[in-house]
Amino acid sequence: MSEAVENQETQKDPETHERASGKVATDDKAEASQPAPKKNGGAEARAERAPATAEGMAAVLERMRKKNVSAGAPDYDARMKNLDKLERSILKHKEGIVRAISTDFGNRSRHETLLAEVLTTLNGIKHTRAHLHEWMEPEPRETWWAALPARCEILKQPLGVVGVIAPWNYPVNLALAPLVYALAAGNRVMIKPSELTPKTAEIIDTIVRDAFAEDEVAVFNGGFEVGVAFSKLPFDHLLFTGSTSVGKIIMRAAAENLVPVTLELGGKSPAIVSENYSLKAAAEKIMRGKLFNAGQTCIAPDYVFLPKGRVEAFVEECKAAVAAMYPTLADNPDYTSIVNGRHYDRLAKYLADAEDKGAKIVELNPAKEELSAESRKMIPRIVLGATDAMTVMEDEIFGPILPVHGYGSMEEAIEYVNSHPRPLALYYFDNDDSRVQEVLTKTTSGGACVNDTLLHFAQEDMPFGGVGPSGMGQYHGREGFETFTKKKGVLYQSRFSGVKAIAAPYKGTIDMGLRLLVGK
Ligand code: NAD
């Protein structure tokens, strides 16, 4: 009996029934219903695990590989069980996630954490559970007539061991959403969270340990050197989420072992507003996308283009939109801090550089507050008159700063986007369908959202990924399953095969047949 099957039989688990009946235990209640942790249990458990060293991680990878061979690919039931276990563990630690991320950031809105880390990851699990059976099915493919009555189909196999490297900005979702799809595809997984969010990295480790054995899923935490060693491991696939510059380093490291990579990178995502679209609606939607997580979002609208004559009115609408969303900033628990001093200084430098070079900075500060640098909460700002010579238009902003440009014609805005690196997202605001289609076909971006921001990320049935400098490959939905799956083309020969007729020695009707098919 394979281990996967064995596992299913030994775990006639009541929790699966709980889920089916909608009675999933959550956080505090679940924590209370768990057996009391052993004193020092965390530390003991930690000691049993492999260290986050090059040797320790290589040893776990090797154990996972061996287990893949001895246990075979997990079947549908075993994969569903893995998804259930992950779901339960996330729910159990929901409050821990909220606390950890807020500690790491200084302040992270509880609502943003529940929406963007917990709910999105659980939605990925739900969507996967609903479709896994269909995704795993072999796909019949057309057979070349000359090979008939042979039959062709694609078999879906796990790749083996998948590595996941995650960034700090949505540290839970970007570590666990790839895990969902890698597990659904039947893989074992090693995860390297960001060292910039250490408390969250710990909770990710706890979530994983509560649900999985070390040879199923393992988390490796530590400093920069852990990431470097991790990226050099000979995985069967490596998914990296992070900056474009580090993406290049990761791809070089992976190339040494010919490890295929999915790179989920960043970039400058434009928002373009058309001539007739409501400025109030555009400002609300753009500021909502910009200020979620204080702009520290890979798909945050980075800068805006709108008709020249509408810039001033748009700035006023942005002020009103911010005042409605965040009447105050300093003590508002829903306004998130910048993750650390280095990033806070980086953003302050963009503003200083822009001002030095002649740009006008407009503060969106409804209660006219002073925000201490210590709190790392940053006043949202619009930059008018920004040029490509300013760092704010060179680098991905990743903070609450929004350059706003006026265009003379839509062509000008499209030309600007097309003459810059391909963005991860593009936002277009217009109610005219034909112009919408024109902008979508004339520009290339990882994804796009028409008349809103960010929401395309949360659609589990759509692939998510960049293009060119904003990334390669994709995950979420069926494409997520396929990213971590080997699609193996198999031909099943028939005992009535006539293929001998086209094999050596070439005599009889073959010459006539070839003349017919490819000419004299
Ligand atoms: P980063 O590239 O600095 O780090 C990402 C991860 O790589 C971290 O775990 C880090 O420890 C590790 N790392 C850093 N240097 C490394 C090296 N030399 N070798 C091996 N590993 C290394 O990115 P970040 O600052 O954590 O995240 C912000 C960036 O991520 C932004 O550019 C953002 O746009 C991008 N991002 C992209 C997506 C997406 O889905 N496309 C999502 C979130 C963030």
For residue 264, the CA-to-ligand 1 centroid distance in Å is 9
User: Model pTM?
Assistant: 0.91
For the CA of 264, the closest atom of ligand 1 is 41
pLDDT along the chain (520 residues), means of 10: 36 36 39 38 54 96 97 97 98 98 98 98 98 98 94 98 98 98 98 98 98 97 96 98 97 98 97 97 98 98 97 98 98 97 98 98 97 96 98 98 97 98 98 97 98 97 98 98 98 92 85 87
Q: How far from chain centre, in Å, is Cα 228?
A: 20
pLDDT of residue 46: 44
For residue 256, the CA-to-ligand 1 centroid distance in Å is 20
For the CA of 299, the closest atom of ligand 1 is 34
Residue 430 · residue 399 · CB < 8 Å: no
For residue 167, the CA-to-ligand 1 centroid distance in Å is 4
Q: By C-alpha distance, which of 265, 280, 303, 300 is closest to 449?
A: 300
pLDDT of residue 33: 39
* Mutational pocket test of ligand 1: of 241, 256, 302, the residue with most ligand atoms within 8 Å of the beta carbon: 241
For the CA of 466, the closest atom of ligand 1 is 41
Radius of gyration for the alpha carbons in the chain, expressed in angstroms and rounded: 26
Q: By C-alpha distance, which of 172, 34, 23, 37 is closest to 96?
A: 172
* Mutational pocket test of ligand 1: of 57, 243, 251, 259, the residue with most ligand atoms within 8 Å of the beta carbon: 243
Listing DSSP states for 300-356 in one string gives: SEEEEEEEGGGHHHHHHHHHHHHHHH-S-STT-TTSPPPSSHHHHHHHHHHHHHHHH
Active site (catalytic) residues: 264, 298
pLDDT of residue 15: 38
Q: Does the CA dihedral 218-220-221-224 come out positive or negative?
A: negative
| Whole-number Å distance between alpha carbons of 368 and 389 | 30
Ligand 1, atom 34: closest residue by C-alpha: 266
Type of residue found at 503: A
pLDDT of residue 263: 98
As given in the structure block, the two tokens for residue 45 are 């458990």
Ligand 1, atom 6: closest residue by C-alpha: 167
For the CA of 424, the closest atom of ligand 1 is 41
| Whole-number Å distance between alpha carbons of 163 and 238 | 5
| Whole-number Å distance between alpha carbons of 357 and 338 | 25
Domains by residue range for the chain, with CATH: 1-8+74-265+472-520 (3.40.605.10), 269-465 (3.40.309.10)
Backbone φ and ψ for 339, nearest 5 degrees, come out as -60, -35
pLDDT of residue 444: 98
For residue 180, the CA-to-ligand 1 centroid distance in Å is 20
For residue 37, the CA-to-ligand 1 centroid distance in Å is 34
Residues with CB under 6 A from ligand 1: 165-169, 174, 192, 194-195, 227-228, 231, 241-243, 246, 249-250, 264-266, 298, 396, 398, 424, 466, 471
What b/e string do you get for 363-387 counting C-beta neighbours within 10 Å, with b at 16 or more?
A: ebbbeeeeeeeebbbbbbbbbbbbe
Ligand 1, atom 1: closest residue by C-alpha: 242
Residue 377 · residue 330 · CB < 8 Å: yes
For residue 106, the CA-to-ligand 1 centroid distance in Å is 20
Ligand 1, atom 10: closest residue by C-alpha: 194
pLDDT of residue 11: 36
* Mutational pocket test of ligand 1: of 194, 239, 290, the residue with most ligand atoms within 8 Å of the beta carbon: 194
For the CA of 245, the closest atom of ligand 1 is 2
Type of residue found at 80: M
Angle at 242 between CA 383 and CA 425, to 5 degrees: 55
pLDDT of residue 32: 38
For residue 148, the CA-to-ligand 1 centroid distance in Å is 50
